Amino acid sequence: MRFALLVLLFCGQLLALERIDPAYSLQASGLVQSIYYEPNRLYAGTSSGTVDIFDLSSKERIKQVVLPKIKDFMGDEVPAKIYSIDKFADRLLIVSQGMKGYRNLWIYEDGKLEKKIDISRHWFMVKAAFVDGEHLLIGLLSNQLVLYDLAEQKPLYIKQMSYSSFSDFALAKDGDTYASTDESGVVHLVQTDTGAIQKELKGQNVDRAYQVDYKNGVVLTAGQDRRAAVYKRYGAYYLQFDFLLYACALSPKAQLAAVAYNEQNNILIFDVGSKEKLYDLKGQNATMTQILFTKERSLFSASDDRVINFWRLP
């Protein structure tokens, strides 16, 4: 009875939220898997094997990076789906689908696309990000985190976090530490240069955490258990929803959190400190793949379709 009352109270709070519609939308060339923002530019990695580059003043696509096609198990040429993108200075980092189920890693710079890691390593890469100009952090499905030296073309370490399958990682702004999570729902805080686990965060998610974000000492997860978990320096809590949470993000100062929280692919914005539910963002039409704050009160969202929405919060 008590649980039913809590659910009714929570639903009432959601109905009272201020609804926010997108300020504008961008149209990508394929289903959007990963986005990266820099001032006046948005990069979108798609299932069509392209990275679309948008000018945010004109809201137009100004450039496109096209990956070579691959052959599927029938021998037909198909686009190489892009799973992850990141950028450092003028270097664009891309993780894409490869042959035999493995993944390739590319650097695009000065108009040239160069493969840095191919399927010969037998790495099932899920995500990669720049730690700095010459070092990458790579997450493998086997839940191994790799610190990779681009100049030496070799891993500096391969750290087995656990024997649960990998979900996601998020680097701290300074790159010194990162948060990694998996199907157990446990979050590991890790020293980037050594791979040493500094802290294990658990107890808030009881099933797979699909995504994690890590900013200003705060960790946020989006879970299969329908929980958005928040870990702060002085405590932890979770918000319970009635649908799987596929995507989440923290604002730059970690004052606000965003989670894709229902079957309609709406995004809830809530206050990290007070837990107050603030805004309901409606307009995404497919399962969310990424939410990305650009400032404290503005963000992009992308999903398994071609539409990327931009939102401004009051």
- State pLDDT tens for residues 33-59: 999 999 999 999 999 999 999 999 999
Residue 168 lies in a domain: no
Query: Is it the case that residue 9 has pLDDT exceeding 50?
Result: no
Domain holding 296: CATH number?
Answer: 2.130.10.10
Assess if residue 284 is contained within a domain: yes
Q: Is residue 176 part of a domain?
A: no
Q: And the tokens for 258?
A: 């965003």
In a domain, 307, yes or no: yes
Q: Which residue range forms the structural domain that includes residue 296?
A: 1-28+203-314
pLDDT in tens, 99-155: 888 999 999 999 999 999 999 999 999 999 999 999 999 999 999 999 999 999 999
In a domain, 239, yes or no: yes
Helix-then-strand count for the chain, H and E: 1, 31
In this model, does residue 13 exceed pLDDT 80? no
Number of domains in the chain: 1
Determine the distance from the C-alpha atom of residue 16 to the mean position of all C-alpha atoms in its chain, rounded to a whole number.
29
Residue 95 resides in a domain: no
50-67: b (≥16 Cβ within 10 Å) or e: bbbbbebeeeebeeebeb
Tell me if 47 sits within 8 A of 71, measured CB to CB. no
221 within domain boundaries: yes
Position 4 scores a pLDDT of: 47
Q: Is residue 94 part of a domain?
A: no
